[in-house]
């Protein structure tokens, strides 16, 4: 139940049918999505041994039986305030301050994790690298505050094309962004890229300094690795290179495709397999 709808606080009785409270607490703390949720034990056990075991399991506090409602309320409010501060710190450490997207560190961790998952499941993994065309010219013409607003609107467009919870939109730095698309083959990644081009086109952000078009546009590089079609993927038992090193190959492929998109006219997406997709229509060349 906690995994389906993560709570802000767990009040846990030590006597739970089928599993004692210490075991439940350990199970919660082993789950990455739940490990930051404070657990308060409700117990009649006042022994030092139990309290030590509870703290070692990850408990945040203890409520003694018989329960004093006023004291429980104060302790709960304290833990909720502490959790809110922790959530804020974790969010600031993992998100880009300007756009609210995942930051570079989160992108790197997520790509490595999804690469390892793709190796285990033998499912495809796609990556889009996105660059705002002529962004320096935009800043020079309209000023940096307008440039920041432009980046925020581009970031919102990236979020809109992330259809599934596992998809990740990130800002890599400057005017460069990325989309990690787990379990997505090349054709699916191309559709996402097309959708993004259309979203950016629909923004209609004026860019009088652009030599490509009168509104802001982006160029996109697409790379896909599929364990069923590529020898790049290896089984976990094979020692050649770590996940981070091999995930870098995917970034390099997407960067190369982005270079192709830039040098073939911008305002388009290119895949590492040589296909070009433009906002008005998808054209295979």
| Calpha distance 231→96 (Å, rounded) | 35
* Cα distances (Å, whole numbers) of residue 25 to 30, 63, 66: 9, 15, 21
Asked whether the beta carbons of 22 and 53 are under 8 A apart, the reply is yes
Asked whether the beta carbons of 217 and 206 are under 8 A apart, the reply is no
199 assigned to active site:
no
Q: Is the peptide bond before 66 cis (omega within 30 degrees of 0)?
A: yes
CA angle 224, 230, 233 (to 5 degrees): 85
Catalytic residue from among 175, 194, 199, 275: 175
For the chain, how are helix, strand and coil distributed in percent, rounded to 5? 45, 20, 35
Pairing relation of β-strands 176-182 and 218-225?
unpaired
Asked whether the beta carbons of 169 and 199 are under 8 A apart, the reply is no
| Calpha distance 114→227 (Å, rounded) | 13
DSSP state of 181: E
Residue 3 burial by Cβ neighbours in a 10 Å radius (0-12, 13-18, 19+)? exposed
- What residues are annotated to the active site? 175
């Amino acid at each position: 139940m906690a995994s389906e709808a993560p709570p802000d606080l767990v009040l846990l009785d030590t006597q739970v049918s089928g599993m004692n409270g210490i075991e439940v607490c350990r199970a919660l703390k082993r789950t990455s999505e739940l490990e930051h949720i404070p657990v308060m034990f409700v117990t009649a056990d006042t022994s030092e041994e139990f309290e030590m075991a509870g703290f070692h399991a990850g408990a945040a506090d203890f409520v003694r039986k018989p329960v004093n409602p006023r004291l429980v309320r104060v302790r709960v409010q304290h833990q909720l305030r502490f959790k809110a501060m922790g959530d804020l710190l974790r969010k600031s450490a993992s998100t880009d301050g300007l756009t609210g997207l995942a930051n570079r560190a989160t992108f790197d961790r997520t790509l490595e994790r999804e690469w390892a998952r793709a190796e285990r499941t033998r499912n495809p993994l796609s990556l889009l690298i996105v660059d705002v065309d002529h962004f320096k010219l935009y800043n020079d013409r309209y000023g940096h505050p307008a440039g920041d607003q432009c980046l925020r609107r581009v970031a919102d467009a990236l979020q809109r094309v992330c259809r599934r919870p596992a998809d990740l939109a990130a800002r890599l730095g400057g005017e460069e962004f990325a989309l990690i698309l787990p379990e997505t083959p090349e054709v699916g990644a191309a559709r996402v890229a097309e959708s993004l081009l259309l979203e950016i086109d629909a923004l209609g952000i004026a860019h009088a300094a652009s030599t490509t078009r009168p509104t802001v546009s982006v160029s996109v590089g697409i790379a896909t690795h599929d364990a069923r079609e590529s020898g790049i993927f290896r089984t976990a038992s094979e020692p050649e290179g770590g996940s981070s090193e091999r995930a870098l190959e995917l970034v390099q492929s997407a960067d190369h495709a982005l270079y192709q998109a830039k040098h073939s006219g911008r305002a388009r997406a290119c895949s590492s397999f040589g296909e070009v997709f433009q906002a008005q229509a998808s054209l295979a060349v």
